[in-house]
Structure 1
Amino acid sequence: MKSTSPARGYALALFSRVAAAILGGYALTAASVIFLGALIPLPKSQAVLAASLASFAVYTAALVWAFVAERLRTLWLSLLLPAAVLAGLGLLLGGAGV
Structure 2
Amino acid sequence: MRSRIGEVSTSYRWAVASRVVAAVFGGYVLAALASVCIAWLLPMARGEAVVSAMMLSFLVYLVAVLWCFASHSASRAWVGLAIPGLVLAAIAGLLHWQHLP
Settle same-fold status: TM greater than 0.5: yes
Q: How does 1:1-98 map to 2 (within 5 A)?
A: 7-94=9-96, 95=98, 97-98=100-101
Task: Compute the displacement of 1:88 (Å).
Answer: 2.1
Aligned equivalents of 2:49, 2:13: Cα separation in 1 = 41
- Cα pair distance change 1:34/1:86, threshold 3 Å: same
Percent identity, please. Answer: 34
Contact 1:39–1:90 (8 Å) recurs in 2: no
What is the distance in 2 between the residues matched to 1:96 and 1:7? 51
Confirm or deny: 8 A CA contact 2:29 2:85 kept in the other structure: yes
Task: Report if aligned partners of 1:36, 1:51 keep a CA contact under 8 Å in 2.
Answer: yes
Structure 1 71/96 Cα, relative in aligned 2: closer, same or farther at 3 Å?
A: farther
Residue 13 (structure 1) shift: 0.4
TM-score normalised over the length of structure 1 = 0.85
Q: Give deviations 1:31-69, integer Å, cap 9, x for gaps.
A: 100110111111222111100000111111111111100
Unaligned runs of 5+ in 1: none
Q: Which has the larger radius of gyration?
A: 2
How many residues were matched structurally? Answer: 94
> Aligned partners of 1:86, 1:36: CA distance in 2, in Å?
10
Q: In angstroms, what is the RMSD of aligned CA positions?
A: 1.8
- The runs of at least 4 aligned residues of structure 1 exceeding 3 Å deviation read 94-98
Deviations 1:10-36 (A, max 9, x none): 110000000000011011101100110
Normalised by the length of structure 2, the TM-score is 0.82
Q: Which range moves more in the overlay, 22-31 or 77-86? A: 77-86
